[in-house]
C-alpha cells in the first residue's frame, strides 16, 4: 500500500474511530501515539500518511491532542493529524465512501459490526487479523493472513458465558496436501493485561491433531 502511494504520489489514510486519550491508565502509549511515532520515523510516511482520530468523549480527544503535541518530530508530518469529537453512526460511512485513498481503519463494534483490523508480530511472522461480530448468527467471524502464509484462514468464534474466552474454528487449504483443513484456536483473557492464544491443527503427514502453538501475551 505504501509503495504504491510513494510511486504515484498518493496519500494513504489511517482512521481510528474510537481512539481514546492516547495512553492507558498506567501511562503506556496506546495505538494513536504508536502510529504517529512510526510515521515520524519513516520519511515515506511523513509525506504520505493522513491520520484521523475520533472519539465521542471530548475529554479523550483533548487529552490525545495534548499528548500528540508532545511527540518529538510531530511537525515533520506533512499532513497534521485530524481530531474529531463525533458519535459513530451511519454518517460515518462517508469517511470511507468519500475518500479514494487506500486506508487502514480500526473500528470498535459499539455501532458497527466490525471490531477491528489488527496487525501484530509473532516472532518474525507478521499477522493481520480482521475480527467482527456477526449479528445474525451471534458469533464472531475472522479472517487471518500473515507473511508466511499462502492463503487466508476464515473462522467463526463463540464467546464463553463469562466473556473471558473465545473458541475459534478456522478453515483453510493446506499448502502441503492441497486439501481443506480445519484449525482450532482458543483465546483466553487472564486479568486485564494478559491473554493466551492456543492453536491446534492436523499434521499434514500423519493426519493426527496436535497442539501447534501457545503464546502468552502481556501488555507492558
Note down pLDDT in tens along the chain; length 220 residues.
456 556 657 777 788 877 889 998 889 998 899 989 999 999 888 988 888 898 889 999 999 999 999 999 999 999 999 998 887 665 555 555 455 544 454 544 333 334 444 444 444 444 445 555 556 667 787 777 665 666 788 888 888 888 788 898 999 888 888 888 899 999 888 877 788 889 999 888 888 899 998 988 887 6
Domain's final residue, options 76, 111, 146? 111
pLDDT of 131 reads 55
Same domain, 120 and 208: yes
Expressed as residue numbers, the domain containing 52 is: 1-111
Instruction: Evaluate whether 168 touches 155 at the Cβ level (below 8 Å).
Output: yes
CA atoms within 13 A on the CB side of 95: 23
pLDDT of 115 reads 43
pLDDT of 108 reads 45
pLDDT of 117 reads 45
The grid coordinates of residue 179 equal 486439501
Distance of alpha carbon 118 from alpha carbon 109, whole angstroms: 14
Check the CA dihedral 71-75-81-82 and report its sign.
positive
pLDDT of 116 reads 45
Q: What is the pTM of this model?
A: 0.49
pLDDT of 78 reads 93
Domain's final residue, options 88, 111, 134? 111
Domain's final residue, options 94, 111, 128? 111
Angstrom distances, CA of residue 162 to CA of 70, 159, 165, 166, 217: 40, 8, 8, 10, 20
Which CATH number goes with the domain that contains 43? Answer: 3.40.50
CA dihedral 218, 54, 92, 156 (to 10 degrees): 0
Q: What is the CA radius of gyration of the chain?
A: 19
Amino acid at each position: 500500500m505504501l509503495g504504491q502511494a510513494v510511486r504515484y504520489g498518493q496519500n494513504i489514510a489511517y482512521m481510528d474511530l474510537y481512539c481514546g486519550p492516547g495512553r492507558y491508565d498506567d501511562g503506556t502509549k496506546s495505538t494513536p501515539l504508536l502510529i504517529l511515532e512510526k510515521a515520524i520515523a519513516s520519511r515515506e510516511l511523513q509525506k504520505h500518511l493522513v491520520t484521523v482520530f475520533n472519539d465521542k468523549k471530548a475529554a479523550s480527544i483533548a487529552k490525545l491532542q495534548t499528548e500528540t503535541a508532545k511527540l518529538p518530530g510531530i511537525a515533520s508530518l506533512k499532513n497534521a493529524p485530524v481530531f474529531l469529537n463525533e458519535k459513530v453512526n451511519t454518517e460515518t460511512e462517508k469517511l470511507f465512501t468519500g475518500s479514494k485513498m487506500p486506508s487502514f481503519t480500526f473500528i470498535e463494534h459499539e455501532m458497527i459490526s466490525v471490531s477491528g483490523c489488527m496487525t501484530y508480530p509473532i516472532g518474525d511472522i507478521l499477522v493481520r487479523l480482521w475480527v467482527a461480530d456477526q449479528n445474525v448468527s451471534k458469533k464472531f467471524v475472522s479472517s487471518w493472513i500473515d507473511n508466511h502464509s499462502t492463503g487466508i484462514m476464515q473462522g467463526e468464534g463463540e464467546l464463553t458465558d463469562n466473556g473471558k474466552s473465545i473458541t475459534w474454528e478456522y478453515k483453510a487449504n493446506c499448502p502441503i496436501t492441497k486439501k481443506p483443513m480445519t484449525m482450532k484456536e482458543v483465546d483466553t483473557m487472564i486479568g486485564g493485561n494478559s491473554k493466551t492464544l492456543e492453536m491446534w491443527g492436523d499434521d499434514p503427514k500423519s493426519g493426527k491433531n496436535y497442539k501447534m502453538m501457545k503464546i502468552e501475551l502481556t501488555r507492558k
